[in-house]
Amino acid sequence: MRRNLLPIVPLILPLALTLAGCAQDAANLQSARAQTSSLIQQAQATRDSLQQQLTTRPADDPLRQHLQPELAHLDQIITKADSYLPLLDAAIRSSQSQPIDPQVQQAVSAIPYGSLALAAIGVIFGIIKHVQAGNLIDQQQQVEKAFTQLVSAIDTALPVPTADQKSKMDSVLDADVKAKVAAARVG
């Protein structure tokens, strides 16, 4: 009996590791989704604040002309981050689902060594999902880094707002968004 199990051990170990990796991938993907949602809110608040500041400046103001491309880049970041939300949602659902239909599993288990072949296929699917999840998280982190760099560039270009400008901005933004924008500026 023990001898019959020895050929199975090399397949069971990667399968167990793959399943553990899928659980970690799901947690990482959920975290990335939360960060992306937060990033979108921060970026929209930053864009609104910047637009509000630019509207108070004359059309030929050099600062306004300098920040218009930054504003366009900020819109691109928002669009890109928005496009990641459905991808992250799909990846989360995929990481939480079984890689192979249970009916197929049952049918293949009747074939000699079918369970082993199915386990190998499951490991391959798990590895592919893991790599895809890692790539998606990396891309999301790049967008987050681009946003942080853009906020730094905007802060460097903008003069310190007057007390009147600060009060106008504070009246528009709620406390939650203010904290997120401050965190992005510090980060």
Mean of the per-residue pLDDT values of the chain: 77
Range(s) of the domain holding residue 119: 2-186
Rounded Cα–Cα distance for residues 25 and 118 (Å): 22
pLDDT digits (tens, 9 = 90+) for 32-44: 999 999 889 988 9
Number of domains in the chain: 1
Which tokens is 127 given? 């590895």
Question: What is the number of alpha carbons within 13 Å of residue 155 lying toward its C-beta?
Answer: 13
Within the chain, which residues score under 70 in pLDDT? 1-22, 98-101, 105, 161, 165, 169, 172-178, 180-187
pTM above 0.85, yes or no: no
Question: Distance between CA atoms of 151 and 158, rounded to whole angstroms?
Answer: 10
